[in-house]
Chains A and B, each alone.
Chain A
């Protein structure tokens, strides 16, 4: 259409921005850095293919996560997002250990107060002492992640909004 400016992708790629440009809704011309970084890490052609394979209502989230991953990889060219995963996994492990210690303390207190605690109650408390199984075994996170730890990527682990910068 005459008059409308090309999206950031078409500007960078120096091509005509078609009316049905797949990038245009997600890479506005006022934020050239967003596409530049995704193009640098993944390549425009790969991003286009990935978006084409997704239903329209999921593409915005996909772009946001690609931008996040691309930023992570530029900030940390060795570990990228995997550094953040390792860091968070360590946090989860530490918290689970602290929780187990605290629950053991509760158990001691309860046993001191009620030495004749019925068996089935003891069993239930024992179950809570078991560290929760790693929910991410199914994701096959490699072993070496326990050594790699980089907090370069996470701005604030508790604020999920920071994922979508």
Chain B
């Protein structure tokens, strides 16, 4: 027994698409590009092996991830997803640096404010003492 419409994988590989085709649920015929990328980068046989090694409920996510990795590699044949990881790491470093700079500005302002408050309190005390001195004959 086979699928009435072959999946993208079986269509591409020009073979019959059996009812229990491992790839059929994840590579529908409506999206031939998705399988084309995966086939180019991982190969049909490797893709099938990798999916077969996973429990059923994890295969859809795995197929999505492999599809993303494959299309990233097609777009960037040198770095693939590693290029994205590098960019994200750079973004993290920049954001951390900006955060440290901003937090130190806040700390500086708070310290200044505290100092001003202390100075005000000291002035008030001095004024109070001076006032007391005037009140006493």
A residues whose Cβ falls under 8 Å from a Cβ of B:
40-43, 45-46, 50, 53-54, 58, 61-62, 64-66, 68-69, 73, 77-85, 88-89, 91-92, 95-96, 98-99, 102-103, 105-106, 109, 135-136, 139, 141-142, 144, 148, 154, 157-158, 160, 163
- Interchain CB contact (< 8 A) of B81 among A46, A85, A95: A85
CB-CB under 8 A from A84, the residues of chain B are 85
Known: A69-B80, A81-B69. 7 other contacts (CB 8 A): A41-B50, A73-B50, A77-B54, A96-B95, A98-B99, A102-B106, A139-B72
In the complex, what distance in Å separates the CA atom of A53 from the CA atom of B106? 53
Most B CB contacts (10 A, CB to CB) among A91, A139, A148 go to A139
Stretch with Cβ within 8 A of A (4 or more), from B8-16, B17-25, B57-65? B57-65
**What are 11 A-B pairs with beta-carbon distances under 8 A?**
A65-B78, A65-B82, A77-B62, A79-B65, A80-B65, A83-B65, A85-B81, A99-B102, A141-B68, A157-B89, A157-B92
Do residues B91 and A135 form an inter-chain contact, with CB atoms below 8 A? yes
Whose C-beta in chain B lies nearest to the C-beta of A139? B84
CB-CB under 8 A from B95, the residues of chain A are 92, 95-96, 99
Using a CB-CB cutoff of 8 Å, which residues 63-97 of chain B contact chain A? 64-66, 68-69, 72-73, 77-89, 91-93, 95-96
Whose C-beta in chain B lies nearest to the C-beta of A46? B43
Using a CB-CB cutoff of 8 Å, which residues 105-137 of chain B contact chain A? 105-106, 109
Do residues B61 and A99 form an inter-chain contact, with CB atoms below 8 A? no
The SS class assigned to the A binding surface is helix
Q: Does B30 contact A (CB under 8 A)?
A: no
Do residues A158 and B46 form an inter-chain contact, with CB atoms below 8 A? no
Whose C-beta in chain A lies nearest to the C-beta of B86? A160
- Interchain CB contact (< 8 A) of A95 among B53, B92, B109: B92
CB-CB under 8 A from A154, the residues of chain B are 85
In the complex, what distance in Å separates the CA atom of A79 from the CA atom of B103? 35
CB-CB under 8 A from B87, the residues of chain A are 135-136
Do residues B96 and A95 form an inter-chain contact, with CB atoms below 8 A? yes
In the complex, what distance in Å separates the CA atom of A41 from the CA atom of B69? 12
Do residues B99 and A78 form an inter-chain contact, with CB atoms below 8 A? no
Using a CB-CB cutoff of 8 Å, which residues 9-55 of chain B contact chain A? 40-43, 45-46, 50, 53-54
